[in-house]
Structure 1
Amino acid sequence: MDTQQSTKRKKVSFWTLFNFFIPLGISASLVTISHVIINSTLARAADPAVVIASYSVAMSLFAVFERCAVILRQTCATLVRDRHSFKLVSQLTIFILSAILILSFIIAYSPIGELFFSRVMGVKDHMLAPTLSVYKVLMFVTIFSGIRCLFQGVIISNLRTKWLTIGMVIRLVVMAGLSWVIIQNNWVNHGYIGAYIFLAGMVIEALVSFIEGRQLVKKMPAKKEDHHIVNHIQVRKFYSPLLMASLIAVIIAPATNAVLGASGKAEIAVASYAVAASVLNLLLSFSTYFHQIVINFYDQDTKMVIRFSFIFSFVPSLLLIAIAFSPVGVWGLQHIMGVSGELLDQSLIALKFFIIFALCFPWLDFVNGVLMLKGQTKVLQFSQAGNVFVTIVVLLSLLFIMPNGGGVIGALAQSIGVMTEVIIAYIFMRKFLHQPIIGIRMKKRSHG
């Protein structure tokens, strides 16, 4: 107990947090370059519309399954402190990835897949075969993504975050090199070319994470005395609510696009929202690891973690304000993204309303980090459900009030939705704030 108290009293410097966080932020931001490489490669096809469309539709299903794999990173980073707990999380990983692979094979190689893409995703008959061909490759990307995230969790909890940036840089170099070879040989004739580029990059990143992560696992004690993750039930209780929250969140994007598609000037509404959302996601990518700062340092030096988070939480919103209200934004949208005319005007308006989202999101990730640290991941289901409910209500209300609102409808609805999620999560966080961290709480239960 004295050791635990001394650990809690140990202060964390600003530069320790900076050196931990910046590589995570950079690696998250670099992810967007992966998709730029793929889309720019596919754009050189003889029929780019069909090729890019088949890739994009297959990616939408891939994104759902990858959510199940990505949250293994938070699970591992929070729960793994010895080889025994790593074994438990690894076994969960094998189960999850096996289930995804089996389900993916059913979709890819049975009539169920054709029915799903045609009836649910609205894919036309002439696009079914190309889309399924892309998905037959992307389903393996999910598996390597899960392996990557498992070992990245170990790397993060051991504060070796530079390896995430190193792995991402190597991945991008491989993808860019493969893209160059494909373009030079004029092989861009199908959407699965993009999927193969993506798969090659993910395999490389997973390999880098595995090599570094495996070395760190070998250095862990077999069983740490003050760490009480001892069975599969504890791991599942942490992971399952995260999984449910992630799957609930999937509803927001199609609901937003459906409402925008029913509004006046639907094409402009959908396109302006998509442009504004892409800019927002790029700026927020740097903030998607705030929860890891909380998980790894909150219990040591709460004040410094809050101070550090406060400083960096305003970076996305300040950048978004600069883009939305200055000539820099107009220039960037015109010359970098190729947006002009009415679409440019509508995109800039949507960006102004996304500022609320940019202000709230870093703190949502912070609060979620505290809830993960306290083992209260079930709260994330309720807060995410609140987000979805409010977003849909606001979407429908705005469609009725301002049917020609364009991309603003989606931007404002999602901003109010994420604000609601922050409020719900914060209320629960205050309730659980003074509980001990997950390992200590389990210790007390085991002796109770």
Structure 2
Amino acid sequence: MSIRVDESLTFSRIFRFWSPLALTWLLMAVEGPLLAALIARMADPVTNLAAFGVAYAFALVAEAPVIMLMSAATALCRDAESYRRLRIFTLLLSGGVTLLLVLLLVPQVFTLVIERWVGLPCQIAGPTRQALFWLLPWPGAIGLRRFYQGVLIADGRTRRVTVGTLARVGLMALSGFLLAGTEMLSGAAAGGLALSAGVVAEMLVALRLTRPSVRRLLRLAGEAETPDFRAILRFYLPLAMTPLIGLSIQPVVTFFLGRGQNAIESLAVLPVLYGLTFIFRALGLSYQEAAIALVGRKMEHRREAGRFALALGGACVGLLGLIALTPLADLWLRGVSGLAPELARFARWPLGLMVLLPGLTVWITWQRSLLVLAKRTTPVSIATAVEAAAILLLLTLLIPRMPWPGISIAALALTAGRFLAIFYLMPYCRRRSLPS
């Protein structure tokens, strides 16, 4: 069902518009664990899991510049000319990030970056290169599908976004199971091929499903304020920097955990805590494009969409708190995640410290959506830099000095950093600071 943004907004309408996007994020969250489980059951699992992890990390860096194309398309694709210009921009950007990944695979460059700078041993470097080869279509396909999905969201067709993601996860799982069963490729290479197959399928489905929306756009005459390529670049560059800066946080946290108290236990529970909190943070992340589409070009629905964001943030905090602060924590940590009893006890305190993170994620994505609509994107990347700097500073100061487990300090730093980023954006998001 298509919901047009000029309709009066109620909670139920917003929920119907947003829920397919939330489901899309939750579906994507199963990719990593599923592929890791398949690779773990293939030959030489330790080497191939390590190689796939390294290759996937580099693929994420290559993907980072195109992640925000969905938000850009949702905000900017208003008529035929804006659609054409942003499509050309998307093609150039997607081609550029693909060429960067190709450059990394040049033997001399790969040896310099992966073996010398990163310091991977030879037995892991080989499978890593194989996985990166099969991941070559990944960043470009991601860029194109996010552009087309943004067009769908701007046209109110959010359920079609979920159809594409179902195709992605389904083909990825099918490819993974077939490759794991036949062992035609190494585990790392099979993981890379399965991921690329799924994303290319999603891109093709999005291209097909977006045709009615594109036809509607092509019938609309251009507006006086249609951005040229220079304006698109000024608008998008800060957005592209935001995920690049954000991606730097996780390796920094891992680095400090290895040097803090209870290092082994902290590193062991980190992915479990990230995984659980991401389920609820994903609900907030998925609201960004929904808010961009629903608030209205003149912010006419800001109050209604803001109230929904407040309710969503409260629900996310409440649901995570219901797990983290009750006996359900043991059920999740031991029963679902498979942690030993002592590790489950160790993880409960940092999990409690991370309870607010999903609500803060909703808050900051709401702020970002307002700024994207107002075409004031520079504060978005600066806020992410403030968050990363605060986390780095807190870890630097507290890890060597405090007798607390490293994971507890990291949980505190992640929460405090997000608070500071939100605080930085507050003046920019006040009603009098945004166009009406």
Tell me the TM-score normalized by structure 1.
0.91
* Alignment match, 1:302: 302
- Aligned residue among 163, 166, 171 for 1:169: 166
Contact 2:21 2:287 (C-alpha < 8 Å) held by counterparts: no
Which AA in structure 2 matches 1:425? Answer: L
* Post-superposition offset of 1:168: 1.3
Q: 1:204 to 1:25 in 2, by over 3 A?
A: same
- The answer to whether structure 1 residue 22 and structure 2 residue 19 are counterparts is yes
Q: Give the match's secondary structure for 2:67.
A: helix
For 2:56, the equivalent position in structure 1 comes to: 59
C-alpha RMSD over aligned residues: 1.9
Give 1:79's match in structure 2, choosing from 76, 90, 93: 76
How far off is 1:290 after superposition?
2.0
Distance 1:34 1:64 in 2: 17
Contact 1:288/1:362 (8 A) holds in 2: yes
Alpha-carbon contact 1:168-1:205 (below 8 Å) kept: yes
Shift of 1:88: 0.9
1:90-140 CA distances to partner (integer Å, 9 max, x unpaired)? Answer: 111122122112211111123112221223433112211111111111121
Q: In the alignment, which residue of structure 2 is the partner of 1:147?
A: 144
CA distance in 2, matches of 1:8, 1:176: 35
Deviation at 1:350, TM superposition (A): 1.4
Report matched runs for 1:410-421 at 5 Å. Answer: 410-421=410-421
How far apart, CA to CA, are the structure 2 residues paired with 1:225 and 1:175?
A: 39
The match for 2:36 is 39
Q: 1:210-221 to 2 correspondence within 5 Å?
A: 210-221=207-218
Further displaced range: 388-397 or 117-126? 117-126
Distance 1:129 1:223, change over 3 A: same
Q: Which amino acid aligns with 2:320?
A: L
The 4+ residue runs of structure 1 with deviation greater than 4 A are 7-10
Give the C-alpha shift of residue 360 in structure 1.
1.2
Q: Between the two proteins, what is the percent identity of the paired residues?
A: 22
* In 1: Cα distance, 2:328 partner to 2:224 partner: 51
Residue matched to 2:239: 242
- Match of residue 135 from structure 1: 132
Distance across 2 between alignment mates of 1:131 and 1:404: 36
Deviation at 1:302, TM superposition (A): 2.0
Distance between the aligned counterparts of 2:262 and 2:230, measured in 1? 51
**Structure 1: tracts of 5 or more residues without a match:** 1-6, 437-448
The answer as to whether partners of 1:241 and 1:378 remain within 8 angstroms in 2 is yes
Matches within 5 A, 1:402-441: 402-430=402-430, 433-436=433-436
1:225 to 1:196, Cα distance in 2 relative to 1, 3 A: closer
Deviates more, 1:411-420 or 1:35-44: 35-44
Alpha-carbon distance in structure 1 between the residues aligned to 2:6 and 2:151: 24
User: Per the alignment, do residues 308 and 20 of structure 1 end up closer, same or farther by CA in structure 2, a change over 3 Å counting?
Assistant: same
- Equivalent residue for 1:368? 368
Q: Deviations over 1:339-372 (max 9, x none)?
A: 1133212222211111132221100000110010
Match of residue 396 from structure 1: 396
Q: Between 7-16 and 32-41, report the one with greater CA deviation.
A: 7-16
Deviation sequence 1:132-189 (CA, Å, 0-9, x none): 1111111211111111101001000001000111111122222222233233334463
In 2, Cα distance between the equivalents of 1:182 and 1:106? 27
Q: How many angstroms apart in 2 are the aligned matches of 1:180 and 1:230?
A: 45
Structure 2, unaligned runs of 5 or more? none
Which range is displaced more, 268-277 or 369-378? 268-277
The answer on 1:189 being equivalent to 2:186 is yes
Partner of 1:343: 343
The more displaced of 42-51 and 397-406 is 397-406
Are the equivalent residues in 2 in contact too, given 1:9–1:300 (CA < 8 A)?
A: no
Q: Tell me by how many angstroms 1:243 deviates.
A: 1.1
> Are residues 263 and 277 of structure 1, via their aligned partners in 2, closer, same or farther at CA, if it must alter by over 3 Å?
same
Do structure 1's residue 97 and structure 2's residue 94 form an aligned pair?
Answer: yes
C-alpha deviations, 1:298-356, integer Å up to 9, x for none? Answer: 22322211121111112221121112122222112212211113321222221111113
Distance 1:174 1:247 in 2: 28
Q: 1:279: Cα distance to partner?
A: 1.0
Moved more, 338-347 or 126-135: 338-347
Name the residue aligned to 1:261: 258
Deviates more, 1:417-426 or 1:266-275: 266-275
Q: 1:218 to 1:126 in 2, by over 3 A?
A: same
Question: Taking structure 1 as reference, are residues 270 and 99 closer, same or farther at Cα in structure 2, changes over 3 Å only?
Answer: same
- Give the corresponding residue for 2:268: 271
Residues 119, 316 of structure 1: alpha-carbon distance in 2 compared, 3 angstrom cutoff = farther
2:326: which partner in 1?
326
1:55 and 1:194 in contact (8 A); partners too: yes
Q: Match of 1:347, as an amino acid?
A: A
Letter in 1 for 2:69: L
SS, match of residue 161 in structure 2:
helix
Which residue of the partner structure matches residue 355 of structure 2?
A: 355
| Amino acid across the alignment from 1:197 | A
